[in-house]
Structure 1
Amino acid sequence: MRPPTTSVRSRKQPGRILLAMAGSCGLAVASLTAVTPAAHSAPAPAAWAAAEAPLAYVANYSDDTVSVIDTATETVTSTFPVGDGPKGLAASPDGGRLYVSNGNAGTVSVVDTATGTVIATVPVTGSPNGIAVTPDGSRAYVVTSGNSRLTVIDTAANTVTTTIAVGSAPQQVAVSPDGARAYVTNYNDRSVSVVDTATNTVTGTIDVRGFPQGVAFTPDSGRAYVTRPYSNSVVAINTATNAVSANIPLTDRPYGVTASPDGTRVYVSRHWGATVATIATATNTVSATALAGNTPGEVAVTPDGGHVYATNGNSATVSVIDTATGTTNAIPVGVTPADVVIAERPTADLGVALTATPRPGLLNGRIDYTVTLTNHGPRTLASAAVTVGLPSPTGSTSPDCALTTGTATCTATGLAPGASTTRQITVPVGILSLGTPYTVTATRTTSAPTDPNPANDRASRTCTATTGLIISCS
């Protein structure tokens, strides 16, 4: 079975389980009339600073790759290989890891986003499909459509810890922002399974009918929205009661769904309409429609709410929709883009501090310099180098920095977020010109991953030695 597309541009199709049904399956819930103006009513976001803008990752099903899009420039900056038939994507909260479900390979690729390399491959049986990561990043939940299970991966060990029986032909999974539950859409059962993430057990089943596909929670975890492509509608679920609270008509096969960061809007791709609709959550009515590419599928929204990204399966593009104006930009990616996730840029902000301590002595006066390196996160600092300009080309010593003529190079590796480390350099006063002020500056020269904040990359101290016994530093 294949997705309801009218053309095939690639050698293979994402393994969605969508059955062509005549008519629609309704719910006995009052629905609301929708209007579709051309532009969205979202506020215009502030412009991203290049070093702060998140990245969008796109799973290209037929290319077996993931494209990386810089959301500041809306360009593809790199592409890296993963497993056979990538269908689902999820990112760790800090953006450091990407989890890719490879439907044809029966695996999940774990990617270090700083390098774009697969660092682990987790076997997952049953045709993995949708995937989600818990808010604390400790677990990944993977839908396996072939055996009607939800597989739980321990992200610290990158191993499967358990599998949970859900409904027939599950498609997508979403973990609530409060981390308390996961919702799984069961296509053949026309239901949603409610999973308690504390016990990894199914605690309820919600009858939504209409062959549910996509699912997304509002940021307060109070509601979940589920698309029903063959009923041409979206249902809202009250998560306190696990009951359907609204049925929102939406033509052209609503498919992927995501909620805005402020919870006021839900964005839904219309698979056969080449559009993305905006639902106002206050009224559960369609408030806007924007153009997308051919057969838009999964959707994601930037953290500032300013742009929605939609994968266009038969266009080999991703549509970027400005939520303030409703205008659309198309970004070429790989063949058959199947999923998209937007994540924090993998960065580690290294702060450099420098102290200078006078050590007076009649014959051995000196100045002890301490370089302090602090990782302000959010990622672990893989490596960094700080260069210190010394006041004299010779005579200085250091137990932990490399010395060359007039320069000390201090390095650090594997520095955790919030952690600090120090390096020591000693300059004898006897080699200085007495009475002359000398300024020593420590400067970050390299680091990985990217440092987003140059403001704290340098520190200086000025010292003057009148004699070996009189040394002052500021």
Structure 2
Amino acid sequence: MSSGSVLHPPRRGLRYRFTALVASGALAAAGLAATAAPQAQAQPQAQVLAPTAVAYVANIAGDTVSVIDSATGTVSATIPVGAGPTAVAVSPTAARAYVTNSGSSTVSVIDTAGNTVIGTIPVGTTPYGATVSPDGGTLYTTSFSSDTVTVIDTATSTVTTAVPVGDGPFGLAAAPNGTRVYATNNNGNSVSVIDTATDTVTATIPVGAKPNSVAVSPDSSRVYVSNQNSSAVSVIDTATNTVVATIGGATSPWGVAVSPDGTRAYATATNSDALLVIDTATNTTVATVPVGDGPWSIAASPDGSLVYVANRYDNTTSVIDTATNTVTATIPVGDGPFAVAFGPGSAPTADLAVTVADSADPSNTGDPLTYTTTIANQGPDTATGASATVTLSGTAATITSATASQGSCSVTAPTVTCTLGSITNGASATVTVHVTPTATGTLTATGSATAPETDPTPANNTTAQSTTITTPPAADIDVDLTAQPHLGILVPYLTYTLTARNTGPAQVTSATLTAALPPGASATNRSAGCTTTSGIVTCAYGPIANGASANKTFRVPLHLLSLGTVKVTGTRTTSAPADPNPANDTASATCTVISIVLVTCP
């Protein structure tokens, strides 16, 4: 099997021997069965990510990898690798970079801390593409001449299997969700979908002519494929494994990449020396950026602010500012830059600090109680997709409502769960939970918050506030009503005394008593705090100590009364704290009116 000239676009004075590389790869390795035992190199469990994003450029004619510091835009190291390096894949921890060597049918394992090759893994014949699983545990490489994808355990640097795919597998990309790997079949005009759980092909998707590179959107829903001989990019819906759009305009597209936020795709127009910027929402080209001679591969920086393009024919890498879609730098690299890849760079960190406060402590059963949970971002980066929970424990309580200062909350007792969205450095969000305690004891609200970013101080992500719940205080008001006649020829009247007697056990803080008058009667000379409306005298009382009494008086003129029995009833209508004994909440005074000068009141 040969790649022929279709594996690179026809160029003026083409300088590199792609067909020769395929032939040398076929001679170097006849398949997996002929490979020597690999040198095992343990994958580090964790490593501090690089403080700035680092790009790795595979130079196919120089048998080297150029290491670019994106902060300075300079080559910081040049690493010798195998023959004809064609792809670079960086582990999620940035501890290792894997380089496929198409001329020697091997993978060079680079320790990124020292920029040295620490192992060489024999793989299938003529490896071109490479990708690492999101968990870093598996490396995949295409074997162009063997029509297989080689699967490698990165912990032991050993080949575990070879997956048969289509004719001439070339590019590779792993879905961010880890479930699928996509391989372009350059001679088969298709894409093979590999199930990573079973290492089997579950679908073969027809695309354009001579598909080279492949990239997957951050949400794993779309796959973008550059079709060299169709001058188009195919867009695949991963749910249906069908092409849902074809984007033209790229002459001999080779490289393809997707921005970290998924809003842009990029494709190299190799014969036009340009980079196409594609709006993924509309699948249309929104900008064309002139770059170097023979743009081959593309990589977006981890923060999406830069795109690097490896220009194979002038031995440079173009740096594009994605905000302006302009080239801001051109970096000389090795001989024949064929592929470029970024390491993850520094992982964003956001220190979420949680506090919980109660509105009262102690609080009474039956009284409303509020817990306010504050989630403060102490930085240094924005917390994206933040969420919080507030969980009640201890004595019984009912959650009456829950709200957040941003986002939304749902209640599944005893837990409130809130999606808060982004919280910028220095900002905060609050979750307010209203509860009603229903039993005495200790009620505890535990607040917790998380975000996708690394939290440098996880100990302050969770905290709790406990509240003592007590029996509410009670004060029994014993109502008394007495009447005293005041007789005379001029203005005879009855004086009523409405008494609120506190029998405890707590102090009365306020109370309201009423007195219902006979029909047609009215009250005069009322004590302060008493009013009359529609035959009802209403008197307000202030604090009354346990064992004390408070009196209010008013007069009822006799000439307004009918002869006979006159009855006035006093009633406690409201008081605080609660009255535990309603049996003594009323009292009556009954007088007998014989004439306006003769009245008897018991």
Evaluate the alpha carbon distance shift between residue 15 and residue 153 of structure 1 in structure 2; reply closer, same or farther with a 3 A threshold. Answer: farther
Q: Is the 8 A contact 1:13 1:62 kept in 2?
A: no
Task: Report the residue type matching 2:269 in the other structure.
Answer: R
1:4 aligns with 2:3: no
Instruction: Give 1:155's aligned residue.
Output: 154
Q: Which residue is 1:237 aligned to?
A: 236
Deviation at residue 4 of structure 1 after TM alignment:
1.9
Partner-residue secondary structure (3-state), 1:227? strand
State the partner residue of 1:210: 209
Question: CA shift at 1:336, angstroms?
Answer: 0.3
1:92 counterpart = 2:95: no
Give the Å deviation of 1:234: 0.7
1:137 aligns with 2:136: yes
Name the CA distance, whole Å, in 2 between partners of 1:208 and 1:231.
9
Q: How does 1:16-415 map to 2 (within 5 A)?
A: 52-328=51-327, 329-345=329-345
Instruction: Give the counterpart letter for 2:167 in structure 1.
Output: S
Q: After alignment, is 6-15 or 182-191 more displaced?
A: 6-15
Q: What amino acid is the match of 2:153? A: D
Task: Give 1:304's aligned amino acid.
Answer: D
- Do the aligned residues in 2 keep the contact of 1:122 with 1:158 (CA within 8 Å)? yes
- Structure 1 residues 25-44: Cα deviation after superposition (integer angstroms, max 9, x where no partner): xxxxxxxxxxxxxxxxxxxx
Could you tell me the percent identity over the aligned residues? Answer: 47
TM-score (norm 2): 0.51
AA aligned opposite 1:341: A
8 Å CA contact retained: 2:232, 2:248: yes
Conserved 8 A contact 2:234-2:243 = yes
What's 1:449 paired with? none
Q: CA contact under 8 A between 2:250 and 2:267: conserved in structure 1?
A: no
Q: Give the unaligned 5+ runs of structure 2.
A: 23-48, 350-602
Contact 2:9–2:252 under 8 Å retained in 1: no
Cα pair distance change 1:146/1:269, threshold 3 Å? same
How far 1:125 moved relative to its partner? 2.6
Distance 1:291 1:16 in 2: 29
Residues 434-474 of structure 1: CA deviation (Å, up to 9, x unaligned): xxxxxxxxxxxxxxxxxxxxxxxxxxxxxxxxxxxxxxxxx
The aligned residue for residue 36 of structure 1 is: none
Ranges in structure 1 where 5+ consecutive residues have no aligned partner: 18-49, 350-474
What is the DSSP-based 3-state SS (H/G/I as helix, E as strand, rest coil) of the residue aligned with 1:206?
strand
Q: CA deviation at 1:254?
A: 1.4
> 1:13·1:61 contact (CA, 8 Å) conserved in 2?
no
Q: CA RMSD in A?
A: 2.0
Q: Distance in 1 between matches of 2:103 and 2:21?
A: 12
Report the secondary structure of 1:272's partner residue: helix
Q: Residue 87 of structure 2 aligns to which amino acid in structure 1? A: G
Partner of 1:23: none
CA distance in 2, matches of 1:77, 1:252: 33
Letter in 1 for 2:288: T
> Shift of residue 52 of structure 1?
2.3
For residue 91 of structure 1, report the CA deviation from its aligned partner.
Answer: 0.5
The answer to whether the 8 A contact 1:14-1:87 is kept is no
Residues 51, 131 of structure 1: CA spacing in aligned structure 2 closer, same or farther, 3 A cutoff? closer
| Length-normalised TM-score, structure 1 | 0.64
Q: Paired residue for 1:423?
A: none
Whole-Å Cα distance in 1 between the matches of residues 95 and 77 of structure 2?
16
Tell which structure's C-alpha radius of gyration is larger: 2
TM-fit CA distance, 1:250: 1.8
Relative distance call for 1:166 and 1:51 in structure 2 (3 A) is closer
Question: C-alpha offsets along residues 118-154 of structure 1, whole Å, 9 cap, x if unaligned?
Answer: 1110001310100000000000000010111000010
SS at match of 1:224: strand
Distance 1:9 1:330, change over 3 A: farther
Preserved CA contact (<8 Å) 1:253 1:270: yes
Q: Secondary structure at the match of 2:100?
A: strand
Measured in 1, the distance between the counterparts of 2:337 and 2:122 equals: 23
Residues 193/11 of structure 1: CA separation in 2 closer, same or farther (3 Å cut): closer
